[in-house]
Structure 1
Amino acid sequence: MSWMLSSDKSWPFLRQNFSWVADMDGVMQDPYHHAEGDVSVHTQHVLAALISLPEYQRLTVLQQEVLWSAALLHDVEKRSTTRIDYDGRIVSPGHARKGELTARQILFRDLATPFAIREMIAALVRYHGLPLWIMEKQDPQKSLFSASLRVDTHLLALLAKADVLGWECTDAEELLNRIELFELYCSEQQCWRQAREFPSVEARYRYFSTDNASPDYQPYDNYQSQVTLLSGLPGMGKDSYIQQYFPSLPVISLDDIRRQHRIAPDDKMANGWVVQQAKQLAREKLRRGEDFIWNATNITHQMRQQLINLFVSYKARVRVVYIEVPYVKWKQQNNTRTYAVPNMVMERMLAKLELPVPEEAHEVIYYIDGRIESAFL
């Protein structure tokens, strides 16, 4: 697989051709850690530091491009999150989390990036600070295992190293030592350059959904039913997926409930009622131990988690199927639907898209343009 964000990697070219690069100009950073200057200057320093690392030079061409792209994008949302804190310090809270969404949007809409490559870059952006701050997390082990399911920890450590080398600060040596400790911790926890393995998908789900659970514990299987929860933007082909793979399985569809009661999709006042009607139907099936499909967009973690918690409380095994087609095809499919979604709404939803991650449910499947793919490159 070959892919390249840009063959011309000069800063003037990037700045001229990508508005999100130009937006880095003038986005100030706290001088205590970033005496080098604004986000534009810092990102250029990071890119220069990255390509000079011997470890980077030993990577495959594709790994180099993935890591370089993540470095270019790692602070992309400091433009929207930077503010002056109560003590006068410049901070950018949440820039990595928001940066992941932006990276995904850019690589899906503007640069037509293969799914696994896109998701690796998005995950690197999301977790680029983890090697520095992992021991300050409430649960370092769980934070590490979660990241390892999505990102190569070796590439993550290299990105963090280049990031620190792109700072002008007095504690750079301490920060580099933290990255070395992160690498040791990854090896100790069996997730250096690999996803942390669990005895089963059930064991993985229990570990992430239960406090103080052991990653090596194999839970007892006492499922009474299986629920398939679909996730995907409008027009991605969820109905077609059901018709192809589960034509005889009962479906609970929020859109169907709206149409039955002549409720407009943009009627926010009625949305809560629609969801409650759907949940009531789900409870009835769950009590009877029936398998079914929940068909809705479910594009955020919060949306999915509320439903998964409900299903699991009735002893259901939950499979999440994320469905996606390329951007151009997505627009074409939406335009040919009986109930097309306005383009403005489509783009707004794309900006909020949070892909299901492996620990969310017992099973997470990525159905990309008609075939199952892995999100781990």
Structure 2
Amino acid sequence: MQYASSPARHPTRMLTACAIALLIVAPTAGPASAADSHSYDFESPSQKLPFMAIQGSGHVLVGPAPGGKSGRAARVDVPNDGRSFKSELVIKGLDAGNHRFSFANYLPPDWQRQDVDTIVAQWFSTQSDDPRIKPVVALSIHGGDWRLKVHWMTNDTIQETVISLGAARLSNWNHWTFDIAWSSPGAPGSIAVTRDGVNVGSHQGANNYHRGEPPHFRIGAYRPGWRPEKASNTAGRADVVLFVDDIDITSTIGSRRGDSPTATSTPSPAGSPSPSTAPTPSESPSSAVETGAVQNGGVPVPSVASAPTDGTSPAPPLRKASEATSETAGRTGAIGAAGGVAAMAGIVFVLLRRRNATRSRRRAHRSSGR
């Protein structure tokens, strides 16, 4: 009588199947801790860039970094044509945990100071049911100063606080770090901001709307006053041109809520936050053209002319913490997989020896009984 084959009758097949399963499963488990980290330095032509949110005829191109900085950077353009108002790189998929956001930006020497907001980085929580919604956190340049705006909601009313981050310098690379712990309905959050290693501002308390998806990150240029429905007077105002580089996002989930990994925090602005008097309509997925960014090595990309320098030395590049995390996690996953395969091989080897010993005893018993 013949029997259907089973793994017990074919230990070699069982060993092979177990080894393959471990090799497939184990490495995927390793880098899970780095899944919420992202890094873009624009140096590799093969690096896939984030999605782009372009409204009008603006663009984001990769070329030589200006200001005496070595390597490449992303040039962001928003033309003053009556219909363009933003060109941003969009990084979604972040969870609601604590994160450190690091990036560098550069305002060219011909930057035109204007009494309007130009948002250069924002954290946006999509709220499809409310057209009043503003970014929960926004870094902008207004006139000649950097500003941080934080928004939250109390009794269905949008609240806003504005924090001054100091004067903006032209022809200068600014290296920013934002340590953000998002608030929840039952616990306050925190924001700590450094520029070029110096703490320039902080916020304690509510910092999002506590509904919808966790905030995602956008970097580039967004000028709300140029939205067509605002009918703003843009005559004589120059195009918006700036550069961004060294984007690095890492999860700091180990930090306690409300604490910041940075050194000393500056006090929060005095006084109670006042309600926002004229909320700016913000974009929803339907109002912005979300396009997949073409890899800068896939098609010819126009070179970006380097802006004149002011004689300052370039700042040292930011450490790619997410890359180190990914490398370490991948190495751990590979070691785990190899160890798992070795353990399974040892188990199968023991089972094989036992089976062979049992067979030998049975043969001896049958021989003695004949």
- Shared fold, TM over 0.5: no
Larger Rg over CA atoms: 2
Which is bigger in relative contact order (C-alpha 8 A, separation at least 6)? Answer: 2
- Greater helix share, structure number: 1
- Greater strand share, structure number: 2
